Chains A and B, each alone.
Chain A
């Protein structure tokens, strides 16, 4: 009898605590998303309404798209999105291409130079960007005078990313790519280059997906490095938004519309690839 009773009581308790849990989590999520709600809502209002009634739906002058139309032109939105896309896509493609090949060589050979380079790469992963920031500017700006080029930024993204991506490819190839397949291809006369692209690279898909997600997010959102290299006209989205804040600091209505437009592309990507993005971020954090 007693056991039965406690089971029933436990059951209702469980249900109540689950309900409490759901309510609590929902409230927390509302709090978390409140800042986004605020900027989206106010981005449709005129300046006076934003200041007088930031929480109201519309205010005296109602809602309109005018802020977006004006901000779109004034911050040169299309050019910023184009630059961000170009820099992100090229950087990520090069990172994947060159890191996977290097990692493959490092795993499959016992040459001394590979061991040394790989070890240096692992140790370099602890170096934060701030430590090389000043020398970078002085070498590429002061000595070589090649700042203000988009390809230089792409090259630097590659340089900063290879150590971690080689490390992650290295671990993956070592643990999950059987050497027997390649040996068979080698006997059939395929060159190492062909063996890699036709047999090995397709097997690397899971880790490639993780790295693509990590680097797309990191490079798309990067501010400090591009701010040191690019000048006006080449601005990526974060730089364009920052510059827009500098020149239009009194136009709160336009600024909010600019903010919303800046986050739209990445939110769209998130909606499309949510599951992969979450998996990729976890895999990236745990493995490195």
Chain B
């Protein structure tokens, strides 16, 4: 390919090989991204042609918007709790389905199933479980109860439960890949030196799996920050707007309240916060990595 010398030849080759990809990428990601940055300085309503320039007004409005900060704070709590539980349970599942247990592949495949299905559908499945099945079971064993989804605290934990249920099977797979990557030589050396199972896990396996933890934490943090589908179908932000997570808040600000400029500003603020958290986490993980 380096044989092409003239500009015309190079251009033809570029367009033939990378033209469609570059065009789609620019049209769908880069131009909207730049245009979106411009929108944060306007007070556009989404309909009129006029996009009045308002300077930093949107950013000031977002800073003062208590609803947005409430939903962001809620998202952070949801994210922290989910990330901890997802990874703890996923790691435990990975330990359970590696080693000598029979039917490994069957178990792994089973725990992964929720990840095949989109958040919208998962939310509706669990809506039925929380609203009908669980209430029925609790009433049967003598606890008079109403649906979790109809209380603020219950609905928040319902989101956490479904998130943990879904992603633990996914992260389990990554932890399994990490666990099986730990060389048996090291484990045997540990055994000869008299390590107990617990010590082997703590001092040999865990340090060598830092990379798996970094990947899983990164994936769960970014996904939890941006969750929308599940939020929409499971709680729809309710009861009384108490579980509106940040991504849903952005959507409503733009498409329901028609404040496109401010909605876009919220999206940008959310993106910056996510990026800072995710990058800090990845950096910390990298510094802890050890070579086998």
Q: Which residues of A contact B (CB under 8 A)?
A: 14, 18, 21-22, 24-25, 28-29, 32-36, 38-39, 42, 50-51, 53-55, 94, 98-99, 101-102, 104-106, 108-111, 113-114, 117, 120-121, 124, 126-139, 142, 155-156, 158-160, 162-163, 166, 186, 192-193, 196, 217, 220-224, 238, 241-242, 245, 252, 255-256, 259, 262-263, 266-267, 270, 274-275, 277-278, 281-282, 285-286
**Cβ–Cβ contact B177 & A286, under 8 A:** yes
Per-residue contact bits, chain B 7-39, to A (CB 8 Å; 1 contact, 0 not): 000100110111011101101111111011001
Interchain CA distance A142-B278 in the complex, whole Å: 33
| Interface SS of B by simple majority | helix
Interchain CA distance A108-B33 in the complex, whole Å: 29
Q: Tell me the B68-122 residues at the A interface (CB within 8 Å).
A: 93, 96-97, 99-102, 105, 107-121
Q: Can you pick out 17 interface pairs between chain A and chain B where the beta carbons lie within 8 Å of each other? A: A18-B100, A18-B101, A33-B113, A42-B132, A53-B136, A54-B136, A117-B22, A130-B247, A132-B28, A138-B44, A162-B21, A217-B116, A223-B232, A252-B128, A270-B113, A277-B116, A278-B173
**Cβ–Cβ contact A105 & B13, under 8 A:** yes
**Cβ–Cβ contact A262 & B121, under 8 A:** yes
**Cβ–Cβ contact B18 & A132, under 8 A:** no
Known A-B contacts A21-B96, A138-B46, A256-B128; the reply to A102 vs B22 at CB < 8 A is yes
**Cβ–Cβ contact A139 & B126, under 8 A:** no
Q: Which residues of B contact A (CB under 8 A)?
A: 1-3, 10, 13-14, 16-18, 20-22, 24-25, 27-33, 35-36, 39, 44, 46-47, 93, 96-97, 99-102, 105, 107-121, 124-126, 128-129, 132-133, 136-137, 165, 169-170, 173-174, 176-177, 215, 219, 222, 225-226, 228-229, 232-233, 247, 250-251, 254-255, 260, 263-264, 267-268, 270-271, 274-275, 278
- Which B residues are in CB contact (< 8 Å) with A255? 124
Of all chain A residues, the one with the shortest Cβ separation from B229 is A223
